[in-house]
A = this chain, B = another copy of it.
Amino acid sequence: MAEPLKIALAGLGTVGAGVIRLIETNASLIARRAGRPIVVSAVSARDRDKDRGIDISGYAWEDDMTAMAARDDVDVVVELVGGADGPALTLARNAIAHGKSLVTANKAMIAHHGLELAALTEKARVALKFEAAVAGGIPVIKGLREGAAANAIDRLYGILNGTCNFILSTMEDTGRDFADVLSEAQAKGYAEADPTFDVEGTDAAHKLAILSAIAFGTRIDFASVDTAGITRIQAADIAQADALGYVIRLIGMAEVDSNEGADRLFQRVQPHLVPFDHPLAHVDGATNAVVAEGNFSGRLLFQGAGAGDGPTASAVVADLIDIARGDLGGEAGAPFSIQTDEMEAMAPAATGHRLGRAYVRFMVADRPGVLAEITAAMRDAGVSIESLIQKGRAEAGGEVLVALVTHEGPESAVSEALRLLEGSSGLTAQPLVMQILGH
């Protein structure tokens, strides 16, 4: 059997410990599939003596993780430290500079610095792989970059954040409110102590920006992802959606918009109403799912566990097996499917002309005339209403919920209607708009 592939592992949190556990548990299987063993040469983390449930005494320890990049007994550096910048980025640059391949699960770093790193690896003719950065154990980077490589991708969308999906599907199952379910998710370890990155959509936006670049050959543009989270969704919204035949899911969606003369990149993370009979409506709990619509393949769906140490380790080690097999992603590299110098810088698309149906929810004062005001604004903005529900009557002096679903029309019309209603004393809160996912 050929020489082992020797790796250095930076970061021994749950994912790092999972990678070591996987490499040890499945060692003989991995060696047979990769054509040679994968062995850990060195590890580094903040605290050497922390109990991680694994024995690291057999691996060289480096206090300074960047030192691992220079070791002769290392072919691949595995970066599991996290963070867009700082030590992770320093290590990544150093590893490539020393001619090592780089495997990472760091979506923030790839979303912000992926093109720089890819250009470096293309020049150094080493591999840069980040399957674990998007959708945990689901091989969706490979699915898009290789499996769907023959296709022009018309549209890409999916459920990219397991925490949000857990919260939304639990709200759906239990009728409980957001804050309540978030606390439970935190207690169970499905949500971080500071859940902002997840519940505000940032994490999903990182992943969407990475997938867009691969699917459309565009330069990563995380900053332009139009991002909304799930914090304003109420139990009542979920109940209304259900009555209308929908579930609510946080959807990341991207496509190339050619309606404005030049190609522009549309990227959005927003809660959507998903019809019961759509495959994404049945994606529950912390599961992720990605749909890619190719011009020859038709609709492809990739689904699985979006996070957790086992699934993430599965993706990290799949990347290592590719490298051990000598499949570096093209002889000249190209972590994003095409070479970085051929990736197109595409301006962000305007969204006003996009056609769709929307769910709009108002919290209104429980007094006469408010409904007339809303419907008049809709009429004046040219929004055609398909259905409208005013939910019961509030406790004395409280607010009531008015939810409506529009017929298909431009997004700008709904925005215009909300502009007309700005400052109305009848509205007790900012209206919430969610698009309805088409088939």
CB contacts (< 8 Å) of A331 on chain B: these are 2, 35, 325-326
By a CB distance below 8 angstroms, the chain B residues around A235 are: none
Known contacts A296-B314, A298-B137, A330-B327; A26/B305 CB under 8 A: no
Taking a contact as CB atoms under 8 Å apart, the answer to whether B318 and A147 are in contact is yes
Which of A138-146, A247-255, A409-417 lines the interface with chain B? A138-146
- For the complex, is A304 an interface residue (Cβ under 8 Å from B)? yes
Contact between A318 and B30, CB atoms less than 8 A apart = no
Are B30 and A150 interface neighbours, CB within 8 A? yes
**A201 is an interface residue with CB less than 8 A from chain B:** no
In Å, the complex CA distance between A186 and B322 comes to 42
Contacting residues of chain A (287-326) with chain B, CB-CB under 8 angstroms? 289, 294-305, 308, 310-311, 313-318, 320-322, 325-326
The residue that A35 contacts in the complex, of B294, B310, B334, with Cβ under 8 A, is B334
**Interface band, chain A:** 35 or more
CB contacts (< 8 Å) of A92 on chain B: these are none
In the complex, chain B residues whose CB is within 8 Å of the CB of A302 = 143, 300-303
**A137 to B300, Cβ gap below 8 A?**
yes
From the candidates B151, B315, B322, name the one contacting A314 in the complex (CB within 8 A): B151
The residue that A150 contacts in the complex, of B151, B308, B314, B338, with Cβ under 8 A, is: B314
- Is A258 in the interface zone, CB < 8 Å from B? no
- Checking B143, B313, B332 against A139 with a beta-carbon cut-off of 8 angstroms, the contacting residue is B143
Are B295 and A25 closer than 8 Å at their CB atoms? Answer: yes
Q: Which chain B residue shows the least CB distance to A303?
A: B301
Assuming the contacts A296-B26, A305-B298, A330-B35, asked whether A143 and B146 have C-beta atoms less than 8 A apart, the reply is no
Q: Determine whether the beta carbon of A298 is less than 8 Å from that of B311.
A: yes
Cβ of A52 under 8 Å from chain B: no
On chain B, the residues within 8 Å of A35 by CB distance are 330-332, 334, 339
Is A150's CB under 8 angstroms from B329's CB?
no
The verdict on A277 contacting chain B, using a C-beta distance below 8 Å, is yes
CB of A260, distance to nearest CB on chain B (Å)? 21
Please tell me if the beta carbons of B137 and A296 are within 8 angstroms of each other in the complex: yes
Q: Tell me whether B313 and A150 are in contact (CB under 8 A).
A: yes
Shortest A247–chain B CB gap in Å is: 13
Copies per complex of this chain:
2
Q: How far is the CA of A316 from the CA of B325 in the complex (A)?
A: 22
A229 at the interface (CB under 8 A from B): no
Docked pose: A282 CA to B34 CA in angstroms: 35
A33 interface hit (Cβ, 8 Å): yes
Over the window 143-177 of chain A, the binary record of Cβ atoms lying under 8 Å from chain B Cβ atoms (1 yes, 0 no) is: 10011111110000000000000000000000000
Taking CB atoms, residues of chain B closer than 8 Å to A152 are 26, 29
- Measured CA separation A308–B26 after assembly (Å): 37
Q: Could you say which of B308, B327, B338 contacts A32, with CB atoms under 8 Å apart?
A: B338
Q: Which residues of chain A from 326 to 362 have a CB within 8 Å of any chain B CB?
A: 326-332, 334, 337-339, 342
Q: Which residues of A contact B (CB under 8 A)?
A: 2, 18, 22, 25-26, 29-30, 32-35, 131, 137-139, 142-143, 146-152, 217, 277, 279, 282, 289, 294-305, 308, 310-311, 313-318, 320-322, 325-332, 334, 337-339, 342
Other than the given A18-B296, A143-B143, A279-B282, 7 more pairs (CB < 8 A) read A25-B295, A29-B152, A33-B334, A142-B143, A151-B314, A298-B311, A301-B304
Q: Can you list 8 A-B contacts with CB-CB less than 8 angstroms, sorted by A residue number? A: A26-B151, A131-B147, A137-B297, A146-B322, A279-B303, A296-B311, A297-B305, A301-B304
